[in-house]
């Protein structure tokens, strides 16, 4: 699909933490981790204060670009740091997409939570689904997740026979 993509920085952070534990004496990994953590900390402070607003987040674009450029051009010898360099070069245009748009999260927690239900359905169906049944399951999943994120009871929404969530939002859960 042709659209901007945001790589999950939480996964990158988790991997960095794992490598720090595996390589406690690797100064290159420590340096990379400190630089990445410093950048991410300032960005998350802005998110905590203003939300995912482009007007506020865009001020971090130059610092993020410098980080990517530095990681892409520096010479490293540590195997772990070389892996991060390769990863950052490969995903340079997808690491900080969220700084350019309103409402784009820096992690993919929502997407991961949403896909868990489809993965369970796929396992339960054991390969016995059709295109039609997948479309129906995805439609129900969409309704379920939308209700869930808006604090509306799925059962109440379905029983209401409304077609728009806004029609029952004022009535509570």
The number of C-alpha atoms within 13 Å of 123 and in the hemisphere containing its C-beta is 6
Instruction: State the Cα–Cα distance between residues 50 and 98, nearest whole angstrom.
Output: 14
More reliable by pLDDT, 113 or 70: 70
At 171 the pLDDT is 45
Domain boundaries, the chain: 9-100, 109-169
Over pLDDT 70: what percentage of the chain? 88
Over pLDDT 90: what percentage of the chain? 53
Mean pLDDT, residues 67-95 taken together: 96
The number of C-alpha atoms within 13 Å of 7 and in the hemisphere containing its C-beta is 14
At 137 the pLDDT is 79
Judged by average pLDDT, the poorest of 32-36, 132-136, 153-157 is 132-136
Instruction: State the Cα–Cα distance between residues 165 and 149, nearest whole angstrom.
Output: 11
User: How many other C-beta atoms can be found within 10 angstroms of the C-beta atom of residue 45?
Assistant: 10
User: How many other C-beta atoms can be found within 10 angstroms of the C-beta atom of residue 158?
Assistant: 13
Which value, to the nearest 10 degrees, does the dihedral of the CA atoms of residues 87, 90, 95, 99 take? 150
Mean pLDDT, residues 77-91 taken together: 96
Q: What is the pLDDT of residues 20-52, one digit of tens each?
A: 999 999 999 999 999 999 999 999 999 999 999
């Amino acid at each position: 699909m042709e659209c901007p993509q945001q790589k999950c920085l939480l996964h990158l952070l988790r991997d960095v933490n794992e490598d720090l534990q595996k390589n406690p004496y690797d100064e290159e990994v420590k340096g990379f981790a400190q630089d990445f953590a410093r950048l991410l900390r300032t960005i998350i402070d802005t998110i905590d204060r203003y939300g995912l607003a482009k007007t506020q987040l865009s001020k971090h674009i130059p610092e993020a670009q410098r980080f990517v450029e530095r990681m892409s051009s520096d010479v490293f010898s540590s195997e772990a740091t070389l892996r991060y360099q390769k990863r950052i070069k490969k995903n340079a245009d997808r690491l900080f997409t969220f700084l350019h748009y309103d409402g784009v999260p820096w992690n993919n927690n929502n997407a991961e939570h949403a896909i868990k239900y489809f993965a369970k359905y796929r396992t339960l169906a054991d390969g016995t689904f059709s295109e039609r049944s997948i479309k129906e399951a995805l439609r129900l999943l969409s309704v379920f997740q939308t209700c869930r994120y808006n604090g509306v009871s799925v059962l109440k929404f379905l029983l209401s026979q409304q077609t728009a969530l806004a029609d029952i939002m004022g009535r509570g859960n």
